[in-house]
């Protein structure tokens, strides 16, 4: 495996060198034909400019070069056993996140089923301008909130962020334009974790 990574890394570095030379030749010709092209801003370059492609490949090659340190750490008396232990735990970690995703999906289904109607109300409140354009100036809050409960995937992302305290619970509030109250959904943050902990079998 590491031989393949080394081959890929070396191939990327060679490709970077070739593209840099091609970019230099191309830019020299363009500047000779029109000196104003030397002052074209970077954001206006062509998407497949050799210079940009070379920089992307160079970044990828640096990633493979850094991964080589993982192979070197395997012979270390302190980091080697830890690396082997983590390598054998990968399957267990994947299984845990699979079950965790199922729990998040269950909560997302509940959120979507409970608040989809009010999310549609917020959506209509946002897209009320002629031509169906969003009103970010006056109803920017509604334009953000309806997206949180409109689809299952978005609901899963918001529940996951809320679980890790990346969001405050007040972001889940839906302020309705035709009512004077708020519909607030503040799930207990520890409940998804408790669902992942299996209960002990009763003593016999």
User: What values do phi and psi take at 174, rounded to 5?
Assistant: -115, 110
Q: Which pTM was predicted?
A: 0.50
Lowest mean pLDDT among 6-10, 56-60, 64-68, 195-199: 195-199
Q: 144-155 pLDDT, tens per residue?
A: 766 666 667 777
Euclidean distance between CA atoms 190 and 34, whole angstroms: 64
Query: Radius of gyration of the chain from Cα atoms?
Result: 27
- The contacts of residue 104 (CB under 8 Å, 6+ apart) are 156, 159, 160, 163, 192
Q: 87-109 pLDDT, tens per residue?
A: 788 888 899 889 888 888 887 78
Q: Is 182 helix (H, G, I), strand (E, B) or coil?
A: strand
Report whether 160 contacts 109 (CB < 8 A).
Answer: no
Report whether 128 contacts 152 (CB < 8 A).
Answer: no
């Amino acid at each position: 495996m590491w031989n393949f990574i080394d081959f890929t890394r070396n191939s990327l570095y060679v490709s970077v060198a070739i593209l840099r030379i091609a970019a230099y030749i191309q830019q020299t010709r363009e500047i000779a034909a029109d000196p104003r092209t030397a002052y074209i801003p970077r954001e206006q370059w062509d998407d497949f400019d050799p210079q940009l492609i070379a920089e992307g490949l160079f970044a990828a090659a640096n990633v493979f070069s850094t991964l080589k340190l993982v192979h070197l750490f395997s012979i270390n008396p302190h980091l080697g056993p830890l690396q082997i232990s983590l390598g054998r735990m990968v399957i267990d970690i994947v299984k845990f996140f699979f079950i965790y995703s199922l729990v998040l999906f269950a909560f997302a289904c509940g959120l979507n089923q409970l608040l989809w109607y009010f999310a549609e109300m917020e959506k209509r409140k946002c897209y009320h301008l002629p031509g169906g354009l969003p009103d970010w100036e006056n109803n920017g809050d509604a334009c953000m909130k309806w997206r949180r409960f409109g689809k299952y995937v978005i609901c899963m992302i918001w529940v996951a962020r809320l679980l890790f305290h990346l969001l405050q619970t007040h972001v889940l509030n839906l302020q309705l334009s035709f009512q004077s109250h708020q519909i607030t959904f503040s799930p207990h943050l520890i409940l998804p974790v408790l669902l992942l902990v299996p209960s002990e079998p009763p003593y016999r």
